[in-house]
Structure 1
Amino acid sequence: MTSLKAASPEDLADPRGPVTPEQTQKAEELKADANKYFKECKYNDAIRLYTEAIELNPTLAAYYCNRAFAYIKTEAFGYAIADAEKAIELDPSFVKGYYRRATANMALCNFKASLRDYRTVVKRAPGFADGRKKLAECEKIVRRVEFEKAIEFDDTERSIVDQINLEAMSIDDSYDGPRLSQTPEAALPTATKAIDVSFVDGMVAWFKDQKKLHKRYAYQIVMAAKDIFTALPSLVDIQIPQGVRLTICGDVHGQFFDFLNIFELNGRPSPTNWYLFNGDFVDRGSFSVEVILTLLAYKWLYPEAVHLARGNHESTNMNKMYGFEGEVKSKFSDMMFKLFTETFNALPLAHVVQDKILVVHGGLFSRDDVTLDEIRAINRFSQPPTSGLMCELLWSDPKPTPGRQPSKRGTAIEFGPDVTEAFLKHNDLDMVIRSHEVKDGGYSIDHNGKCVTVFSAPNYCDTMTNLGAYIHVTADCELSYHTFKAVPHPANVKAMQYASQFNSFGI
C-alpha cells in the first residue's frame, strides 16, 4: 500500500519550472478567498481554493499549512499530516508546519508523535502561548497513557459489573426523578420488564430539563443493554415484518436535542417503528450521556425493534479525546465510564437488512474476498485494532474513483465503486448503507446508487450548518430519504465542552 504522502496530489518538485509573477499574484488572491471561506466554516470550498493556489505556486509552506488546517476541520487528518510534512520539507523553520502535524496526530491519538512536534514548536517559538499549553496537555496525556499501560493486567474473565453493587446505591427521598421497578426481573411476572414506556418517557423529559438520572438506574440500564448486546453476533440479521418500518440513522454525536427531534418527526421507537442507529452516538456533542442512556433504555425496552452498531467513536481513545470520558466522569464516575467501555465492546459491528442491505458505520475492506461469515466471526470484544476487518468496518470511507487508497483520515482505506460492486456481488447483496461522514444535505448516494452515506447530526458541532437525515426501509426493501434541520439546545452547553483542551482544534 502506498503511503499517504506518496498519494498526495502534489509531487515534491514542480516540473513546470519557476513560478511566474502572475502565478504568484493569482495564488495569493486564491489564498485570500480561501481564508474567507475558512472563516465562514466552508471548509471544503477553502480546500478547493487552497489547492488551486498550490497548483499555481507549490513553493510556499503557508499554503500547505492553511490547507492542512482545513483538512483538520473536515477530519481528513491523514491529508493534514501529509500537507504539514510538505510544509516542513519546503521550510524546516516553519513552526506552523510542526504545529499542524501535531494537531492532526493528536486527533488520531498518536500522542508520542504529537509530543515530538509540540516540543519543536515550543523550542522554536517559546513565546507561543498556545504551543506551550498544548505541549503541557500532551505531556500529561502521554504520562497518563504510560501509567495506565504500566498498571494494566490481564483480567479478561472479570467484568467491571462484578464491582458494581446496586443495593448499596440508596435512593434518597429527595430524588424526584423517574424510577425503575426495584423488583428483580427474574421475580417479575413472565414478559414483564423492570423498564417500561412511562419510565423512558419520564427519563427523556428529565434529561430535557438538564437533570441527572440517579446512578442506580443508569447502571441498571447500561448493564441490561450490555447483556443483550453480548448475546448477539458481530453481524446481526434484521428481518422487517410487514407493517413495520425500519429507520436507519447515522452519527448523532451527543447532540441530544437533535436526536430527540428525530423521534418528534419520525415517532419514538415501538414494536412497529423500528430503529437502527449506525454508530457514533457519543463524543463532541456535550449531551452524550443523555443520548446513550436513552438509546440503551430503548434497547432494553424493545430489543427486537431497536438496533445499535458500533462506530469508531465507541472506543476509549476517541472518548478520552473528544469528550465522552470527561462527560461521564463529570456526571457519574470512572466506574461508569468503564462500564460504558465494556458495553461498547459488546456492540455489533454490522447489520444485514432483509438479506440485501449491509449497514456498517465506516465501510468496506482492503481485499476483495471478504464474506459476511467472516464479519460474523470477528471477535469484537476489545478496543478496535489499527488494521484488519474490524478497523475497516469502523473507519473506511468511499471515494468516487475506482480502486483503493489510504484513507484521508490516516486510518483504514478509501474504496471506489468497483470495490463496492465486487463486494456486493460476492455476498449477494444489493447495497451498502454507512455513516461516518458529514454531508451537507444529510445524506449522499454514491457508487451508482449502491453506497449511501447517512449522517444524523445537523449543524454538526454547532458550526457545520449541514442538514441531518434518516432513511426509511420497508419490508419490501423500499427506501426513502428524509432530512431535517438542527433545533435549539441550551445555550450554556457548547459542543466539545467536556473534551480535552485540544477541543480548541475545532475537531
Structure 2
Amino acid sequence: MANVDATTKSAFDRAEEIKLLANEAFKANKYTQAIDLYSQAINENSQNAVYWANRALAHTKLEEYGSAIQDATKAIEIDPKYSKGYYRRGAAYLAMGKLKEALKDFQQVKKISPNDPDAAKKLKECEKAVLKLKFEEAIAVQDSDRRSIADAIDFHSIDVEPQYTGARIDGEVVTLEFVKKMIDDFKNQKCLHKRYAYQIVLQAREMLRAMPSLVDITVRDGDHFTVCGDIHGQFYDLLNIFKLNGLPSEENPYLFNGDFVDRGSFSLEVILTLFAFKCMSPSAIYLARGNHESKNMNKIYGFEGEVRSKLSETFVELFAEVFCCLPLAHVINDKVFVVHGGLFSVDGVKLSDIRAIDRFCEPPEEGLMCELLWSDPQPHLGRGPSKRGVGLSFGEDVTKRFLQENNLDLVVRSHEVKDEGYEIEHDGRLITVFSAPNYCDQMGNKGAFLRFKAPDMKPDIVTFSAVPHPDVKPMAYANNFLRMFS
C-alpha cells in the first residue's frame, strides 16, 4: 500500500513542479507552451481544478474561447466551490459576446466569494451590459425592415470649416495625393473631416456591394500580387508593410484578408486607409471579410467605441452596413484560394456554392459563411470541434479534398496569431498569414505577408517586426467590461 501512495505522491509532486513551469511560461506570454505544460500536469493529476482553470486562462489569451470554456467547466466539475472556475468561464463567455451565460457565472463567483470587491464590481458591470443588450434587442428593427443608413447620408451637404487644415478630396475622385496626405495626418494623430470620411466609406460601399461573394483575381505573367493577414487596428505596422512592399497600385496590388479592425486602437485609421486605396484604384486593393468585421465583435473589441469617439454614432451604423458588403473569399489565377478563417463541416463544397452565398447580413452562427470566417486547421485528420467555440477545426485530408474537388493548389488563410507571422501546414497545402506583429503589444510575434508571382504562383514569404506607435494601448476603446479582464 505504501508503495502505491509513494507512486501517487510522486505523480502529485511532478504535477506541481510542471504547473510552476507552466506558470512561468504564462508570465512570459508563451501561452502555447503554457498550455502544453498545464496539459502535462493534468496527465499526472487530472483531479486538480487549478490546472484546468489555469489552462483555461492560457486558452483565453490565445482567443481559444471554446477550449477555455471546456477547461473551466472541468475545473467546476472537480470543485464546484472553486470560484476561479466560474470566473474563467464567465470571462470566456464574455469574450464570445455571450453576456447572459457570462452573467450566470459571475453570479456564482459572487455567491462563493460574497466579500470579494473585485467579484462584486465585475458582476455589476455584467448586469449593466446584459440590461443594455436586452434594451437593444427590444428596440432592434428586423433586418428586412431596416432602411439603409447609407441612403440617408448626403456628404455633399456637409460644410468643411475654413480652419480645417487636413486632407481634402476635390470633387468626387480620391487621388493618391489625397491618400498620402490623409496617411500623414493620421500618422500625426490628426482626424479626417467627417465629410471626406463619409465620402470614402460610401464610395467603398458602392464598389464592395457590386462584387460577388467569391472574387476571381487574375495576375498576368511576370506580375506579382501580395496577400496580407490580420491588421487588427495596428496602423503603424500597416504603414510599415507599405514601406517594405510599396503602396497599393495597379502594378502592386494587395489583398487584405479580413480583421482590419478591433483590438488595436488605430482601427479607424486602418479602415479609412484601406477604403481610400480601394476608392482610388479598385484593382489596387482587394478586401475580404474577417470574423471581426461584424457588429457583435466590434461592440466588444473596440472598433465601435473608437468610431463613436473619433467620428459619430451614425458612422458606427454605416461601417456595420459596409462590412456586410465585403466579399467572403478570393481565388487568384484559379490556383490559390484565400479566405479569412478556413474550410467546411461538410465535403463537396464547390466554389459555385461560395459564390451563391447571400453575404449581405451579420455572420450567422453556423453554415458556410460562418465557417469561412471562423474555422481553423488542426494537425490531425478529419474534423473536430472549434477551439474558439464557433466554426470547426479541419484536418489535412479536408484541405486536400477541397483543393482537388475545386482544381486548386493552395489555401491561404489568416485568423490566428503565429510566432513567425506565418505557418505552413497540411503538407504544404495550407498557409496561415498574420500581419499584426507583437499582437496587442504583448505577443512578441512577427508579422508576415505573402508575395505571389505569376505564372508559377509560389508564395514568397516576407516577415517583419513591430514598429513603435503612439502611446495608446490596445483595447483602449473596447467594451469597458472586457477591459476589466485584459
TM norm structure 2:
0.97
Residue 148 of structure 1 and its aligned partner are, at CA, apart by: 1.5
Which residue of structure 1 aligns with residue 141 of structure 2?
Answer: 153
Alignment pair present for 1:110 and 2:74: no
Could you tell me how far apart the structure 1 residues matched to 2:473 and 2:295 are?
A: 22
TM norm structure 1:
0.93
Alignment pair present for 1:163 and 2:186: no
1:38-96 Cα offsets, whole Å, 9 max, x none, are 11111111111111111001111011001100010011111110111100000000000
Give 1:172-183 correspondences, 5 Å limit: 172-181=161-170, 183=171
Give the number of aligned pairs.
480
Alpha-carbon distance change, 53 to 179 in structure 1, aligned in 2, over 3 angstroms? same
8 Å CA contact retained: 1:247, 1:276? yes
Q: Which amino acid aligns with 1:169?
A: I
Could you tell me how far apart the structure 2 residues matched to 1:18 and 1:207 are?
A: 65
Of 25, 37, 45, the residue aligned with 2:25 is 37
Residue 474 of structure 1 and its aligned partner are, at CA, apart by: 1.4
Could you tell me how far apart the structure 1 residues matched to 2:251 and 2:88 are?
A: 49
Which residue of structure 2 aligns with residue 7 of structure 1?
Answer: none
Give 1:104-503 correspondences, 5 Å limit: 104-154=92-142, 156=144, 158-181=147-170, 183=171, 185=172, 194-476=173-455, 477-491=457-471, 493-501=472-480, 502-503=482-483
Could you tell me how far apart the structure 2 residues matched to 1:310 and 1:338 are?
A: 17
Which residue of structure 1 aligns with residue 88 of structure 2?
Answer: 100
Give 1:41-120 correspondences, 5 Å limit: 41-120=29-108
8 Å CA contact retained: 1:229, 1:348? yes
- Worse overlay, 329-338 or 494-503: 494-503
8 Å CA contact retained: 1:270, 1:302? yes
Q: Which amino acid aligns with 1:196?
A: T
Structure 1: any 5+ residue segments left out of the alignment? 1-15, 186-193
Q: Which amino acid aligns with 1:161?
A: A
1:209-251 Cα offsets, whole Å, 9 max, x none, are 0011001100100000000000000000000123432100000
Percent pairwise identity: 55
CA RMSD of aligned residues (A): 1.4
Could you tell me how far apart the structure 2 residues matched to 1:378 and 1:208 are?
A: 38
Could you tell me how far apart the structure 2 residues matched to 1:232 and 1:19 are?
A: 65
Which secondary structure does the structure 1 equivalent of 2:428 belong to? coil
1:131-170 Cα offsets, whole Å, 9 max, x none, are 2222222222222221122112236462101222324421
Could you tell me how far apart the structure 2 residues matched to 1:235 and 1:121 are?
A: 46
Of 18, 24, 28, the residue aligned with 2:16 is 28
Could you tell me how far apart the structure 2 residues matched to 1:147 and 1:33 are?
A: 46
Alpha-carbon distance change, 222 to 18 in structure 1, aligned in 2, over 3 angstroms? farther
Could you tell me how far apart the structure 2 residues matched to 1:174 and 1:244 are?
A: 44
Could you tell me how far apart the structure 2 residues matched to 1:168 and 1:139 are?
A: 42
Which secondary structure does the structure 2 equivalent of 1:20 belong to? helix
Which secondary structure does the structure 1 equivalent of 2:448 belong to? strand
